[in-house]
Amino acid sequence: MYEIWLAMNIVYEIALGIWPLLALLLSVWVALLVAARGRLGARQVRQALLLGALVAVALFFSVPTLTQSSLSNMGYWVDWANLLAIALGLGALAAVFSVPLLGLAGGRK
Amino acid sequence: MKRDKPTTHRAPQGAPTRRAWLTGAAGASAAAGLGLQPTAAQAARQATQAHIVIAGSGLAGIAVAHRLQGLLDGAKITIIDAKQVHNYQPGYTLVASGVWPVDKVIDSNASLQPAGVQWLREMVAEFDPAANTVVTAGGQRIRYDYLVVAVGTHQDWAQIEGMDTKAIGQDGLASVYPSSDAAVATWAAMDRFRQKGGQAVMTLPATPLKCAGAPLKMTFMVRDRLAQAGTLGKSQVTFYSALPNVFGVKAVNDNVLERWQALGVQVQYTQKLKAIDIGARRATFVNPEGAATEVPYDFIHVVPPMRAPDAVKNSDLAWKEGPMAAGGWLEVDKDTLQHRRYKNVFGLGDINGTPRGKTAATVKKSAPIVAQHLADVIAGRAPGEKFDGYTSCPLIVREGSAMLIEFDYEGRLTPSLPMIEPLQESYFAWLMKVRLLKPAYMAVLKGRV
């Protein structure tokens, strides 16, 4: 349990360091959701999931390099599991963010 | 003699304030949701009018101040330290090996002080525990009811003849320890060295050290930088230890030595750096028999011998006998971190004369224990929880990979999560070191974890 609490605090501190960017992204996302209301459906969700999956795949291969390491430094299964979790988590965020964008791009249902 | 007056607007002894009730209720709800329900004794803040002085405003001093605020209602807390800049010292090795820019390790100390805590911007010059008083460099006498000593270490550069910390960065001279500026200068020296290669000399003194993994990390990194630059073939990295080993935990020591053997890093034992001729790039080592060896170098990483700051070393708070007496370290019980003779005094962080533990991770584990013990003593209870000496060292083995080593007083490896292999080099440990540990440090500093 302590480790969960620690992990939550780490995420909180990281967010605290970039909160203006996060606030901006959240505002943009909410504005996009409002603008796209009435244009969102299952199709946009499917497209967003596909986009999120593509982002996750891209991140899976690029996150080590972006953190001054490389795939050759993957030592054991804990490394792969963490990399997968990071890629899937950020991919999911990308999917959520893209839903209203896809709604706007696709026109009225 | 100045006697600080108690603060006003206090609740009667034993009666929680409305704020305490609200804080407790909110905290309990959140904790319950997380499965972190505190005990009944911890949930309510304890009313007290005690004056608690905290000497030192590094991670330990600020973290324990936050913790005490959470446990005590009405206490007057004073932090004494002249330091204006708060340095994230665990990041120094990253700066010194060219991984991080220096701004990642520098914060304003003013911005980190807990609200409601008095910050006296002076250094402690003298401890007088018999009179429950500290004396500042400016001559102020501050009385306390309880004292937390968190003044860190003194780097005893004077023990190395010819050493000049201002020359770090020049003539191949490097050291990660003195400051963030020295870390920057160390990277400049290492960067120049790796272009041509040559003889790298890495040193380790025989005294207790803060971050005893740093000399090993710097050795791994200088070897890695040489390999990256293509100059490893015409270079030799040699580690001169003043001890019969390179690290105090046997399993780690053996693992590091195996790695160094594979990497071509040589090791010389029981060789203590006695003197250095910076301009001539020559270091003099002595063995226990007093025989001196002069070693030429192109790059040298110097680790200073360490001891307690004079204010502690020269006071009655220091160990008077035993292995910690020579360094004047704080005489605390290793299990409770309470002073062995002055029961209203506790030690936290690098100053403690304990078998191991001079890292930020030690503070992470021990700050809540010290705060709780101090609250216990105020309430008339004996300190209960035992500190196991937890220490952690994310040991960088090259750029992009590290080992996440955690251990206790006994030198047993104690990984926080069962799936972590302490001696397995890994990307995850590297990611923790470069991206996650500073946020964790900030959470510790704020008394949350």
Residue where the block lists tokens 């909410």: A30
Q: Say how far apart CA B329 and CA B348 lie, in whole Å.
A: 11
- B443 CB within 8 Å of a chain A CB: yes
Q: What does each C-alpha distance from B145 to B47, B132, B253 come to in angstroms?
A: 15, 7, 43
Q: Which residue of B has its CA nearest to A81?
A: B428
Q: Is B342 exposed, middle or buried (0-12, 13-18, 19+ CB in 10 A)?
A: middle
Among A64, A74, A78, beta carbon nearest to B419: A78
Residues of chain A neighbouring B438 (CB-CB closer than 8 A): 13
Q: Is the per-residue pLDDT at A107 higher than 80?
A: no
Q: Count CB-CB contacts under 10 A for residue B191.
A: 13
Q: Say how far apart CA B446 and CA B364 lie, in whole Å.
A: 11
Residues of chain B neighbouring A9 (CB-CB closer than 8 A): 439-440, 443, 448-449
* CA neighbor of B355 nearest in space, from B429, B435, B410, B275: B410
Name which of A78, A82, A84, A90 to mutate to probe chain B: the one with the most chain B Cβ atoms within 10 A of its Cβ: A78
Q: Say how far apart CA A1 and CA B309 lie, in whole Å.
A: 38
User: Amino acid letter at B194?
Assistant: R
Measured CB to CB, residues of chain A less than 8 Å from chain B are 1-6, 8-14, 17, 64, 67-70, 73-76, 78-79, 82-83
Asked if B439 and A67 come within 8 Å (Cβ–Cβ), the reply is no
Name which of A66, A76, A82 to mutate to probe chain B: the one with the most chain B Cβ atoms within 10 A of its Cβ: A76
Q: Say how far apart CA B422 and CA B419 lie, in whole Å.
A: 9
Q: Say how far apart CA A57 and CA A71 lie, in whole Å.
A: 13
Which residue did the predictor score with more confidence, B141 or A108? B141
The H or E element spanning position B239 is strand B236-241
Strand, coil or helix: what is B18?
helix
Asked if B439 and A3 come within 8 Å (Cβ–Cβ), the reply is no
Q: Say how far apart CA B59 and CA B82 lie, in whole Å.
A: 14
Sign of torsion over alpha carbons B69, B71, B77, B80: negative
pLDDT of residue A106: 79
Q: How long a stretch of residues is chain A?
A: 109
Please answer whether residues B212 and B205 qualify as being in contact, where contact means their C-beta atoms are separated by less than 8 angstroms. Answer: no
Q: Which residue of A has its CA nearest to B426?
A: A75
Q: Is B161 exposed, middle or buried (0-12, 13-18, 19+ CB in 10 A)?
A: exposed
Q: Say how far apart CA B44 and CA B42 lie, in whole Å.
A: 6
Cα dihedral B17→B20→B25→B27 (10° resolution): 180
pLDDT of residue B106: 97
CA geometry: angle A13, A18, A22, nearest 5 deg: 110
Among B416, B428, B440, beta carbon nearest to A78: B428
> Tokens standing for B433?
């070191």
Which residue did the predictor score with more confidence, A7 or B38? A7
pLDDT of residue A1: 81
Q: Which residue of A has its CA nearest to B443?
A: A9
Helix B360-378 with B59-71: angle, nearest 10 deg:
40
Asked if B34 and A1 come within 8 Å (Cβ–Cβ), the reply is yes
Residues of chain B neighbouring A4 (CB-CB closer than 8 A): 34
Asked if A6 and B440 come within 8 Å (Cβ–Cβ), the reply is yes
Residues of chain B neighbouring A67 (CB-CB closer than 8 A): 430-431, 434-435
> Tokens standing for A56?
């996750």
Please answer whether residues B136 and B55 qualify as being in contact, where contact means their C-beta atoms are separated by less than 8 angstroms. Answer: no
* CA neighbor of B282 nearest in space, from B199, B390, B165: B199
Asked if A10 and B36 come within 8 Å (Cβ–Cβ), the reply is no
Instruction: Read off the pLDDT of each residue in A42-53 and give the average, rounded to a whole number.
Output: 96
CA distance A22 to chain B (A): 17
Main-chain phi, psi angles of B187, to 5 degrees = -65, -40
Residues of chain B neighbouring A12 (CB-CB closer than 8 A): 439, 443
Residues of chain A neighbouring B449 (CB-CB closer than 8 A): 2, 5-6, 9
> Tokens standing for B249?
């935990």
CA distance B101 to chain A (A): 13
CA geometry: angle B275, B281, B282, nearest 5 deg: 45
Strand pairing report for B133-136 and B124-128? antiparallel
Strand pairing report for B299-301 and B173-174? parallel
User: What is the set of active-site residues of B?
Assistant: 211, 393
Among B427, B440, B449, beta carbon nearest to A69: B427
β-bridge partners, A66: none
* CA neighbor of B129 nearest in space, from B426, B424, B344: B344
- Among A37-51, A95-109, B99-113, B434-448, which stretch is predicted with the lowest mean pLDDT? A95-109
β-bridge partners, B396: B402
Each residue's pLDDT tens digit, B281-294? 999 999 999 999 99
Among A2, A13, A78, beta carbon nearest to B420: A78
Q: Is A24 exposed, middle or buried (0-12, 13-18, 19+ CB in 10 A)?
A: exposed
Residues of chain A neighbouring B434 (CB-CB closer than 8 A): 67-68
Each residue's pLDDT tens digit, A12-29? 999 999 999 999 999 999
Q: Count CB-CB contacts under 10 A for residue B10.
A: 16
ipTM exceeding the 0.90 mark: yes
pLDDT of residue A108: 54
pLDDT of residue B43: 58
Pairs across A and B, CB distance < 8 A: 81
User: Which residue numbers in chain B have pLDDT < 50?
Assistant: 1-41
Name which of B431, B433, B441 to mutate to probe chain A: the one with the most chain A Cβ atoms within 10 A of its Cβ: B431
Asked if B428 and A82 come within 8 Å (Cβ–Cβ), the reply is yes
Q: Which residues are CB-neighbours of A26 under 8 A, at least 6 positions away?
A: none
Residues of chain A neighbouring B112 (CB-CB closer than 8 A): none
